[in-house]
Amino acid sequence: MRRMWYQQTMFGWFQIKPMTSSRRVQDRSKNKRIHYLEIVKEKWKILSKVLFLMELLKKEKEMVIPLRSLDRYRKQLNLPKPHKITDFIRKCPKLFELYKDQRGTLWCGMTKGAEDLLEEEERLIEEQSTKAVEYVTRILMMSVDKRIQLDKIAHFRRDFGLPIEFRTKWVNQYPQHFRVEKSKDGVEFLELVNWDPAWAITELEKRTLGLNDGIGREPGILSLPFPLKFPPNYKKVYRHGGKIEHFQKRSYLSPYADARELKAGSLEFDKRAVAVMHELLSFTIEKRLVTDHLTHFRRELVMPQKLMRLLLKHFGIFYVSERGKRFSVFLTEAYEGSELIEKCPLVLWKEKVLSLIGYRGKKKEVPTFSDLSDMEERDIIEEKDIIEGDTEMEDTCADFEEEEIMGGLDAVSPTNDDELEISHFCNSYKGTS
């Protein structure tokens, strides 16, 4: 009987183990979905495609590009065939325009309003450059070797509000903070030049203890609890109050202290990794990051291999959105509902661009120009001919994305050429909570 019990137990164990080890992230966290943060993810996902096209046109000599040349950027725009790029452009008539030359070639350009927005963005980035330099320097200070591959930092360009010429020009403008060094195999690294004790203070210390940048001290052991924010159904999906309290009381090493001696998998190691994640997200203008970008920094910032598991475990500190092909992690304390509590000028600028996306009306006729220089006369097109009844912002994600919508949203999918309003989209999300 003992042998039979042992065999049955082992048989049951082999049956269960493959199921538990193969569970996806979606399966582990589907009961902890925060719908108002999912709305944020959808909103910025739409905007990222528009900003990509604006930056692409900005790099062109006359800020126009043949439409057929845009076909190679379908992956970045997430517009797989048979979706038409022209439909994507027509959804933003206040930002983009279509033209035909005498040979019938279709071109895409920006409106005067879009060009003005890009100039405004450049001015804002310049005004925020001091803070961006500080954040890049502090990332280098947190790294174990005080240097990070330049291509990896470039992933954070939009998150930190860095200019387009980040790799070629911007990094060389601040030699007092960092410099670019090439390895033997030609890989470029951004290397810390001077350690600034005034910057070795976490954002959590500044808020909790009221410390200022001017106060410098040697980084060491911290015992500050992390702010927690849970959804209304917290008690139903997360019943580990004792574990949370124990974690919050545990001391940990500052993200700016040397972590070489920490043992991977230890409690101290994991809590320091949470502190590093909290600090990185505090640096970003939207208090969120794509998780793919974070995984590139495991070795440099001494973080665990299974980073996603750590983020999901500390649900009240972080929130992982699984929508789309790339996951995003939010700093929950920075949001009140679907709105950022503190919005920097660059976030307000993005919201301004977002308000110009989408319209409701008939497709306008594509004008024909005898010469590309004639495009400079596009202001002769009256505003009333471009847009009719577009005072409300529309939800264009159903046509911009091929990704499936969460359960409960299929009922509001567009069935004709009309677009959904973002307010309707938000209400549909709330209806699924």
**Residue at 39 is within a domain:** no
Are 205 and 317 contained in the same domain? yes
Tokens of 214: 């001017």
Q: Report, as ranges of residue numbers, the positions in the chain whose pLDDT lies below 50.
A: 6, 9-23, 26-27, 360-362, 371-433
Residues 12-26 pLDDT 10s: 444 443 333 434 554
Nearest one of 183, 187, 181, 194 to 138, comparing CA atoms: 194
Which residue reads 């190679």 in tokens? 72
Q: What local confidence, expressed as pLDDT, does residue 162 receive?
A: 92
Are 333 and 245 contained in the same domain? yes
**Residue at 213 is within a domain:** yes
Residues 256-282 pLDDT 10s: 999 888 888 888 999 999 999 999 999
Are 294 and 418 contained in the same domain? no
Nearest one of 333, 313, 205 to 257, comparing CA atoms: 205
**Residue at 70 is within a domain:** no
Look at the chain and report how many structural domains it folds into: 2
Are 204 and 339 contained in the same domain? yes
Q: What local confidence, expressed as pLDDT, does residue 7 receive?
A: 52
Q: How far does Cα 423 stand from its chain's mean position?
A: 22
* Helix (H) or strand (E) run with residue 29 in it: helix 25-29
The partner residues of 290 in beta bridges, in order of sequence, read: 328
Are 206 and 327 contained in the same domain? yes
Judge contact between 361 and 92, C-beta under 8 A. Answer: no
**Residue at 246 is within a domain:** yes
**Residue at 317 is within a domain:** yes
Q: Which domain holds residue 283?
A: 24-34+200-343
Question: What b-and-e string marks burial along 252-271, b requiring 16 or more CB atoms within 10 Å of the CB?
Answer: bbbbbbebeebeeeeebbbb
Judge contact between 148 and 180, C-beta under 8 A. Answer: no
**Residue at 210 is within a domain:** yes
Q: How far does Cα 281 stand from its chain's mean position?
A: 10
Sign of CA dihedral 421, 423, 427, 433: positive
Are 306 and 233 contained in the same domain? yes
Q: Rg of the Cα trace of the chain?
A: 25
State how far the Cα of 228 lies from the Cα of 333, in Å rounded to an integer.
7
Are 299 and 428 contained in the same domain? no
State how far the Cα of 24 lies from the Cα of 16, in Å rounded to an integer.
15
Are 209 and 309 contained in the same domain? yes
Are 301 and 433 contained in the same domain? no
